[in-house]
Amino acid sequence: MRFPHDVPVLTDGTVTLRAHRPDDALGVLEQCVDPLSRQWTTVPVPYTRADAEAFVAERVPAGWAAGAWAFAVEAADEDGHGRFCGTVELRDEGNRRAEIAFGAHPWARGRGLVERALRLLLEWGFTERRLRTVVWWANVGNWASRRTAWRLGFGCDGTLARWLPQRGDLLDAWVGVLHVDDPRGPRHAWLRAPELAGERVTLRPLRDGDVPRIVEACSDARTAQWLRMPAPYTEDHARAWLLQTREESAAGTAVTWALTERDSDLLVGALNAFAVKPRREAEVGYWSHPDGRGRGLMTQACRLVVAHCFTAYDAGGLGLVRLHAGAAVGNTASQHVLEAAGFTRVGRERRALGLGDGSLADCLTYDQLLEEHGEGHGG
């Protein structure tokens, strides 16, 4: 395809996709020296005005001839003047497949403009270029990109270790696809951990700053034994676990909270509702930092998690009808927490739990139904 003659103008009334022009160079420069662009894309560092001019005058036109269909994104600023908002692109991969790529000018972020631009781009690709499958790649940790892809209907099909090149390194990559016949909206809920307040405890989302406390808690002998933690438990383990909890939330399969005492921000435990099956059930799990034991904090926190899980989805809860949990025979503290939070012991799975010392323990299984919640201890 020839540039700019064959580049269509696509608009939804708010956002317009069009061929790049020489006067986009300043916007391209501002975008490419921005820290987020540097962190999450392969823009050269340093990036100069000459690089930006070459991008609009040479790279984009050459790309159109070679199957890299890049559009400038334009939208009106506060005064109603059209301004450069970034670049969105489909890269032809043959066999009616393409890769999607996008980057926003810092001014344009957080306004929903990129999502609009990508919807226009995808519909053009699926109809005019007759694409069947579009693939999305992002460096692991690029949550703005992942959420954008999720909104558009992409799945996140997994992580490829050391796959995406960036300035000499190979970085872990998320990958997902959107097919021509897929719905163009989220495939599943993206769960969040709302703040939950009890009389003596607060549950809040986990933060990077919790890493040292997570290391302390998971290095503790009791936690290591009952939950079979890696030993030694390092900051890398804690960071990997934090990433895992965020990925599970994004995939709609778990919600994880930090437990703190009401008047403090210091983590004294963690709880989660995991293996979520929407509208049905989840499993509840937890561990306490040694500072948080022996004062009934986990029991109160577990009740808050149970209440959140049984609260209707439209009212901000998970809208589940059943919760289940397990505790090793011998882990009396955990059994007590479950019973005090309204769970009923329903069975025993023999030799089902691997412990820190390498032994296998029987697992006592518990569950709780929506209709039981609020009766007795659960409320």
Ligand X SMILES: CC(C)(COP(=O)(O)OP(=O)(O)OC[C@H]1O[C@@H](n2cnc3c(N)ncnc32)[C@H](O)[C@@H]1OP(=O)(O)O)[C@@H](O)C(=O)NCCC(=O)NCCS
The residues of the shown chain that bind ligand X, judged by CB under 6 A, are: 36-37, 40-41, 102-104, 109-110, 114-115, 138, 142-145, 147-148
Q: How far is CA 43 from CA 29, 64, 107, 327, in A?
A: 10, 19, 18, 50
Distance CA 372, CA 277 (A): 19
CB of 41 to ligand X, least distance (A): 5
Distance CA 360, CA 173 (A): 36
| DSSP β-ladder status, 169-179 and 196-197 | unpaired
Q: Give the residue with the Cβ less far from ligand X, 103 or 292.
A: 103
Q: Give the residue with the Cβ less far from ligand X, 32 or 297.
A: 32
Q: DSSP strand E in the chain: where? A: 10-11, 15-18, 68-76, 82-94, 97-104, 133-139, 158-166, 169-179, 196-197, 201-205, 255-261, 267-277, 281-288, 322-328, 344-354, 360-369
> What would the DSSP string read from start to end of 217-257?
HHHSHHHHHHHT--SS--HHHHHHHHHHHHHHHHTTS-EEE
CB of 202 to ligand X, least distance (A): 21
CB of 8 to ligand X, least distance (A): 22
| Residues 229 and 355: beta-carbon distance below 8 Å | no
CB of 241 to ligand X, least distance (A): 17
Q: Give the residue with the Cβ less far from ligand X, 142 or 272.
A: 142
The tokens of 182 are what?
Answer: 């897929």
CB of 120 to ligand X, least distance (A): 14
Strand partners, 69: 90
Number of alpha carbons in the 13 Å side-chain half-sphere of residue 358: 0
Q: Give the residue with the Cβ less far from ligand X, 32 or 337.
A: 32
Q: Give the residue with the Cβ less far from ligand X, 118 or 309.
A: 118
| Residues 39 and 31: beta-carbon distance below 8 Å | no
Q: What backbone phi and psi angles, to 5 degrees, belong to 350?
A: -80, 135
Q: What backbone phi and psi angles, to 5 degrees, belong to 321?
A: -115, -10
Distance CA 324, CA 305 (A): 12
Distance CA 154, CA 177 (A): 5
Distance CA 97, CA 88 (A): 16
CB of 192 to ligand X, least distance (A): 9
CB of 145 to ligand X, least distance (A): 4
Q: Give the residue with the Cβ less far from ligand X, 143 or 313.
A: 143
CB of 256 to ligand X, least distance (A): 14
Q: Give the residue with the Cβ less far from ligand X, 104 or 201.
A: 104
| Residues 3 and 61: beta-carbon distance below 8 Å | yes
Q: Give the residue with the Cβ less far from ligand X, 114 or 353.
A: 114
Strand partners, 118: none
Q: Give the residue with the Cβ less far from ligand X, 155 or 290.
A: 155
CB of 249 to ligand X, least distance (A): 9
